[in-house]
């Protein structure tokens, strides 16, 4: 695999994210190579097909969309060959001026978390991306190695806070010993990390677009990654109901609704453009 040709920008992730969304629109395209999507594209379920699918999406959209979110699991299932595709796709996307959030939901403690951070967030890490999704359920303090690496590299984090899966509230709505919910404590921690940001901080939350409403304060002065749009039932019109006054900080993520339009580049570009225009209007871009 070729080495990265450029390090991360000296600007913080939040600054780069706002600029990219202002320029290209807020849409984040999820790259989720499910077997059924490979089937829809007429491809067998192989590592070679994974590469054809992924690079087809990248080559069609990298210069048009601000943010991409590859789901690591669908690359990992092909072993080292799949990881090589994820690595190459990340390089191609960033070389085209897009930002890459790798959706890996890593979470651990101490040196193990530092190892994940070195892989995904360090400037010369093998999977160096612009931001990484992480899990706080070993305690918010367990994220410190990733926070430190992200700050040093100008990268960002998206921390699981209010996910839309039905099992989520069992943990996220539980009360901490200090009183707030677990989700509320996560949001408070992110708000503290972003306290010095002039506009958009680099430490964001993952908040499902289908949670309908919440009593939590989502104004964390950072980005709010909103999966679950399109095929999973979330709508652009519904984002204001979920996010309220923080809606301008939402990074709306759509996957199957756009990927299913392939494999032709024109069809992918048309689907992305229509979705992006809808989110521009809904989020005030």
Residues tagged active-site? 105
Structure token pair of residue 216: 């939590």
Strands 203-207 and 99-106: unpaired
Q: CA 53, 24, 270: angle at the middle one, nearest 5? A: 50
Strands 99-106 and 67-70: parallel
How far is the C-alpha of 28 from the C-alpha of 148, rounded, in Å?
A: 25
Enumerate the H helices of the chain as residue ranges.
13-24, 35-40, 47-61, 73-76, 80-95, 110-120, 144-153, 169-172, 182-193, 236-243, 256-259, 265-283
DSSP per-residue codes, 47-71: HHHHHHHHHHHHHHHTTT-SEEEEB
Q: Which of 137, 138, 227, 140 is nearest to 191 (CA)?
A: 140
Determine the 3-state secondary structure of 274 from DSSP.
helix
């Amino acid at each position: 695999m070729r080495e990265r040709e450029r390090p991360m920008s000296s600007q913080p992730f939040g600054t780069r994210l706002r600029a990219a969304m202002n320029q290209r629109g807020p849409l984040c395209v999820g790259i989720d190579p499910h077997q059924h999507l490979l089937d829809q594209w007429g491809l067998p379920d192989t590592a070679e097909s994974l590469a054809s699918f992924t690079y087809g999406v990248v080559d069609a959209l990298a210069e048009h969309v601000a943010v991409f979110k590859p789901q690591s699991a669908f690359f990992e299932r092909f072993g080292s060959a799949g990881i090589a595709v994820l690595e190459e796709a990340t390089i191609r996307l960033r070389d085209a001026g897009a930002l890459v959030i790798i959706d890996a939901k890593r979470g651990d403690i101490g040196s193990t978390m530092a190892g994940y951070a070195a892989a995904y967030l360090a400037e010369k890490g093998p999977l160096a991306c612009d931001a990484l999704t992480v899990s706080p359920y070993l305690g918010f303090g367990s994220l410190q190695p990733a926070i430190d690496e992200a700050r040093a590299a100008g990268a960002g984090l998206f921390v699981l806070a209010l996910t839309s899966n039905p099992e989520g509230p069992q943990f996220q709505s539980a009360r901490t010993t200090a009183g707030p919910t677990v989700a509320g404590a996560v949001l408070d921690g992110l708000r503290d990390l972003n306290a010095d940001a002039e506009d958009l901080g680099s430490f964001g939350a993952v908040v499902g677009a289908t949670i309908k409403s919440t009593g939590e304060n989502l104004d964390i002065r950072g980005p709010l990654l909103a999966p679950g749009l399109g095929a999973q039932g979330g709508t652009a019109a519904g984002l204001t109901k979920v996010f309220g006054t923080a809606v301008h900080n939402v990074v709306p993520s759509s996957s199957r609704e756009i990927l299913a339009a392939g494999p032709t580049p024109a069809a992918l570009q048309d689907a992305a453009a229509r979705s992006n225009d809808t989110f521009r209007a809904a989020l005030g871009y």
